[in-house]
Structure 1
Amino acid sequence: MLILKKGEKMLSFLSSSSLEDNSIHASSDDNELLDAYSQTITQVVEKASNSVVQIKVIKKPVQNPNPRLRQPQEAGGSGFIISSDGFIITNNHVVSNAERVEVGLMDGRILEATVIGNDPYTDIAVLKIYTDTLKPLRFSDSDKLKVGQIAIAIGNPLGFQYTVTAGVVSALGRTLRSETGRMIDDVIQTDASLNPGNSGGPLVNSKGEIIGVNTAVIAAAQGICFAVSANLTKYVAGKLILEGKVKRAQLGIAGQVVNLSERMVGYNKLSTRTGVYISEVIADANARNDELKRGDIIVGLNNKAVASIEDLHKMLNDELINQLVVVQLLRGGIKKEVSVLAGELK
């Protein structure tokens, strides 16, 4: 027991044996917490691993003056089974331009796969294999995700099969630019480490349910990785399985975001301070868009405000194909409305 010197304030002290006892209890509690976390991860991996596949792709030769670069190229990635009859989800960039696709199952079987459909605008693709005894993963409702909840990635990074990394959901509602230049909406940010080869693999929650499809990393950063959300993936996969593609509407224009002057905003009573400047009207697009002029600034579509190209992308869904849409725009600084028959984006 410590003894205070004369004049010092009395404090409550514990004996060394009490401190040791508390340390033991704290250590025991920490071990129990670690065990609970570890048990969650191991149970998820045991449940989900059999549904994760390794994908090997032989790419079609590319046109190149160098003969060596004209040879078929090998690529690889990950995927996961979503139905007992053999439908598999992966990334579009994994299987795009594929001449042959092979799928490796955890039990050692290697099967040839058929590309059912791919969507470069969301980087999602669906494959099909023909075999039995398949165990699919279930989709969660990604709209119910919370920042901070456990996120577990399973895949085949750099050729190392069935690698597991764990982290948390770092952020929700991100946007990510696809290979087409179009923005992918509703993207999940996570710190579960991803590497080349993880692409197309599942990001799952503590129940082993799909919350996203691992798709991208920021090379210069640490712990910033992205996954296409489960709800968007489920929608796109359904369209690909039923129709072989995801249909989208278009106005047949090329444009860029521009700032609007205070005078334009105030005079026209606009709710946004930016719009989409039409730099080109594509005459041969399958849309009747002759009412649009180069130099127009789109600020609305069907009376919904448009502040960016991404706003237009979100609004131009398959329901607007071959439909007459009303475009609110600024021409000469004055707001007016024109009608356009939206076409289908090919």
Structure 2
Amino acid sequence: MRCVFKMDSFDNYQRKSSKNKMPVYFIMIIMGMVIGGFLVSFFLPDILDRRESLNGDRPPVDWEIPEEHEEPEYYEYQNTAVVKAAEKVTPSVVGITNMAVAYDFFQGDSRLQEVAGGSGVIIDSAGYIATNNHVIADADEIVVTLYNGEELIAEVIGTDPATDLAVLKIEQTGLPAASFSDSDKVLVGELAIAIGNPLGLAFQHSVTVGYISALQRSMRIGEQNFSFIQTDAAINAGNSGGPLVNAVGEVVGINTAKINITGVEGMGFAIPSNTVKKIVNDLIEHGRIIRPWIGIYIREIDEKIAEEMQLPVGYGLIVEEVISGGPAQKAGLEPRDIITDIEGEKIQTFDRLREVINQYKVGQKVNIKIMRKDTEIEVGLIFEEMP
């Protein structure tokens, strides 16, 4: 006998079976709802009480990053003085754009255009910035670019061409200010890190590394003599006004110049931080530099001059003229006196005399040793403000 299964008879069987079980399913659902409602009503109050108790004891969320995680994590090979110093100082370095009004003959109007650029370093969180005087010279408008890219118009607080320093002010607070070191304690051979914007903002916050090559390098730029810290860290156009930093992230100087001669490499120069601090403070407080003054005209002595003039010493500065009413006249200096020493500092050149004088303030008294004919004399001189 052959059995034949028809699809329609199979479907009918399934429908009949499901139809018979529907009342059973319905009853089970109703019972589940009743039991579930009973359990919720019995246990829910206790659960809520426990949750409220736990929330009441929980301290508020602390959104601040824990102190131990504020320091960045380094790979072992990245944990170096250069990396840490650059990371510390770079946010304090700004870009400075010197804008001047130029007349456009084709358009028939005037417009501001960039004529020079450089770097600067934030010296106070209230918005004070130190840079080089030559970076902002003759500017009609100065734009400062912060580490985050924000651009602000700067006000010139004061300039000092004699030291090539200037102070700017922007209307911004809470800025990351750099720390300055004591440049008198800098040693030849120390690590030196230059940070700035060589060739403009396209290369902003570039870091170059070298060493302190020499101290108290006296150089003439234009009509002025400057005393510099020498470094072989690369300093290029646009680095001017940026910081020269030591291994612990302190500013030891403001980068200002390099020797640009074919065949000469690695000779950059920075204004010592102690000079920067003094000049900057005067500019912020007075808007100008108050310099101590002796009140004499002098001439440097060498062996040839000493022989020709039959002088008792072969070094020092000979007084050619004493200004009437000045500090030198009040101290008793006379023409042909030879200045050889100020407060134990041997004086052989005019540049060194000026450097020594600039270490003092108006009103301070110093002892000066002079040779008058064949006699050594010591006089007391009180500095007055340079007219």
Secondary structure at the counterpart of residue 134 of structure 1? coil
- Which whole-Å CA distance do the structure 1 matches of 2:141 and 2:285 have between them? 22
The reply on whether 1:248 has 2:291 as its aligned counterpart is yes
The reply on whether 1:141 has 2:182 as its aligned counterpart is yes
Contact kept in structure 2, 1:247 and 1:317, CA below 8 Å? no
1:83 to 111, 117, 124: 124
1:223 to 255, 266, 277: 266
- Which whole-Å CA distance do the structure 2 matches of 1:294 and 1:98 have between them? 44
1:280 shift after superposition? 5.2
Alignment of structure 1 residues 100-119 onto 2, 5 Å: 100-119=141-160
Matched to 1:312, the amino acid is L
Contact kept in structure 2, 1:200 and 1:214, CA below 8 Å? yes
Alignment of structure 1 residues 1-346 onto 2, 5 Å: 36=77, 39-58=80-99, 74-159=115-200, 160-177=203-220, 181-184=224-227, 187-220=228-261, 221-260=264-303, 261=306, 273-279=314-320, 289=329, 296-301=337-342, 305-317=346-358, 319=360, 321=362, 328-330=369-371, 342-346=383-387
- Which whole-Å CA distance do the structure 1 matches of 2:291 and 2:221 have between them? 15
Distance 1:292 1:100, change over 3 A: farther
Matched to 1:134, the amino acid is L
1:263 shift after superposition? 11
Distance 1:336 1:209, change over 3 A: closer
Contact kept in structure 2, 1:323 and 1:341, CA below 8 Å? yes
Per-residue Cα deviation, 1:210-258 (whole angstroms, up to 9, x for no partner):
1221111111220011112223322332232223233222233333311
Distance 1:178 1:244, change over 3 A: farther
Distance 1:289 1:320, change over 3 A: farther
Matched to 1:256, the amino acid is R
- Which whole-Å CA distance do the structure 2 matches of 1:139 and 1:340 have between them? 32
Contact kept in structure 2, 1:122 and 1:178, CA below 8 Å? no
Distance 1:320 1:225, change over 3 A: closer
- Which whole-Å CA distance do the structure 2 matches of 1:303 and 1:46 have between them? 42
Contact kept in structure 2, 1:114 and 1:128, CA below 8 Å? yes
- TM-score with structure 1 length normalisation? 0.70
- Which whole-Å CA distance do the structure 2 matches of 1:342 and 1:251 have between them? 6
Secondary structure at the counterpart of residue 124 of structure 2? coil
1:134 shift after superposition? 1.6
1:113 shift after superposition? 1.0
Matched to 1:258, the amino acid is I
Distance 1:207 1:336, change over 3 A: closer
**Could you tell which deviates more after superposition, 239-248 or 210-219?**
239-248
Per-residue Cα deviation, 1:123-152 (whole angstroms, up to 9, x for no partner):
222211111342112223334433333211
Per-residue Cα deviation, 1:181-215 (whole angstroms, up to 9, x for no partner):
2443xx32111101111111011123322122111
Matched to 2:302, the amino acid is N
Count of paired positions: 297
Q: Unpaired runs of 5+ in structure 1? A: 1-33, 62-70
Matched to 1:167, the amino acid is G
**If each structure's helix is expressed as a fraction of its own residues, which one has the higher value?**
2
Which has more radius of gyration?
Answer: 2
Distance 1:141 1:320, change over 3 A: closer
Contact kept in structure 1, 2:258 and 2:268, CA below 8 Å? yes
- Which whole-Å CA distance do the structure 2 matches of 1:40 and 1:325 have between them? 41
- Which whole-Å CA distance do the structure 2 matches of 1:239 and 1:105 have between them? 25
Q: Unpaired runs of 5+ in structure 2? A: 1-74, 103-111
1:305 shift after superposition? 4.5
Tell me the equivalent position of 1:28: none
Matched to 2:285, the amino acid is L
Distance 1:298 1:54, change over 3 A: same
Matched to 2:298, the amino acid is G
Tell me the equivalent position of 2:54: none
1:157 shift after superposition? 1.4
Distance 1:319 1:107, change over 3 A: closer
Contact kept in structure 2, 1:92 and 1:123, CA below 8 Å? yes
Contact kept in structure 2, 1:257 and 1:276, CA below 8 Å? yes
- TM-score with structure 2 length normalisation? 0.64
Q: Equivalent pairs: percent with the same residue?
A: 40
1:121 shift after superposition? 2.9
Contact kept in structure 1, 2:97 and 2:114, CA below 8 Å? no
Contact kept in structure 1, 2:322 and 2:328, CA below 8 Å? no
Contact kept in structure 2, 1:247 and 1:318, CA below 8 Å? no
Tell me the equivalent position of 1:25: none
Per-residue Cα deviation, 1:90-137 (whole angstroms, up to 9, x for no partner):
112222343322111121211111122223333222211111342112
C-alpha RMSD of matched pairs (Å): 3.8
- Which whole-Å CA distance do the structure 2 matches of 1:174 and 1:282 have between them? 30
Contact kept in structure 2, 1:288 and 1:343, CA below 8 Å? no
**Could you tell which deviates more after superposition, 295-304 or 245-254?**
295-304
Secondary structure at the counterpart of residue 94 of structure 1? helix
